[in-house]
Amino acid sequence: MKFKFNLKREIKIGAAIIVVLLFIGFTERKQAHVPINEITIRLENTEGNHFMEESDIAELMDVNIGNLKGADLDAVNLKAIEQKIKHNPFVEDADLYSDLKGNVIARVSLRRPVARIVRHDGPDGYIAEDGTLMPVSDKFTARVVLLSGPYVRQLLQQQNMRDTQTGEQLMELISRIRRDEFWNAQIAQLDIDGKAKITFFPQVGDERIEFGKPDEQEVKLRKLKIFYKEILPRVGWNKYARVNLEYAGQIIAE
| All structural domains of the chain | 39-110 (3.10.20), 113-253 (3.40.50.11690)
Q: Which amino acid is at 7?
A: L
Q: How big, in percent rounded to 5, are the helix, strand and coil portions of the chain?
A: 35, 25, 40
Provide the pLDDT confidence category of residue 64 given band limits of 50, 70 and 90. Answer: very low
pTM of the complete model beyond 0.85: no
Q: What is the pLDDT of residue 94?
A: 93
- What is the C-alpha to C-alpha distance for residues 19 and 70, in angstroms, rounded to an integer? 31
Q: Directed axis angle between helix 165-179 and helix 217-226, to 10°? A: 40
DSSP state of 36: P
Q: What is the pLDDT of residue 99?
A: 84
Q: What is the pLDDT of residue 65?
A: 47
Q: What is the pLDDT of residue 149?
A: 92
Q: What is the pLDDT of residue 6?
A: 59
Q: Which of 31-40, 112-121, 144-153, 165-174 has the lowest mean pLDDT?
A: 31-40
Q: What are phi and psi of 24, to 5 degrees?
A: -65, -45
Contact 204, 186 (CB under 8 A): yes
- What is the C-alpha to C-alpha distance for residues 45 and 109, in angstroms, rounded to an integer? 6
Q: pLDDT tens for residues 163-220?
A: 999 999 999 999 999 999 999 999 999 999 999 999 999 988 778 889 999 998 999 8
Q: Which of 156, 30, 52, 41 is nearest to 102 (CA)?
A: 30
Report the b/e string of 34-62 with b at 16+ CB within 10 A.
Answer: bebeebebebeebeebebbeeebbeebbe
Q: pLDDT tens for residues 16-58?
A: 666 555 555 545 545 447 777 788 889 998 887 888 888 888 8
Q: What is the pLDDT of residue 55?
A: 86
- Percent of the chain's residues with pLDDT above 90: 35
Q: SS3 for 250?
A: coil
Provide the pLDDT confidence category of residue 240 given band limits of 50, 70 and 90. Answer: confident
User: Can you tell me the mean pLDDT for 237-245?
Assistant: 79
Q: What is the pLDDT of residue 14?
A: 59
The residue among 148 and 120 whose pLDDT is bigger is 148
Q: What is the pLDDT of residue 26?
A: 47
Which one of 13-22, 30-39, 98-107, 238-247 scores highest in mean pLDDT?
A: 98-107
Q: What is the pLDDT of residue 231?
A: 82
The residue among 18 and 108 whose pLDDT is bigger is 108
**1: pLDDT strictly greater than 50:** no
Q: What is the pLDDT of residue 23?
A: 52
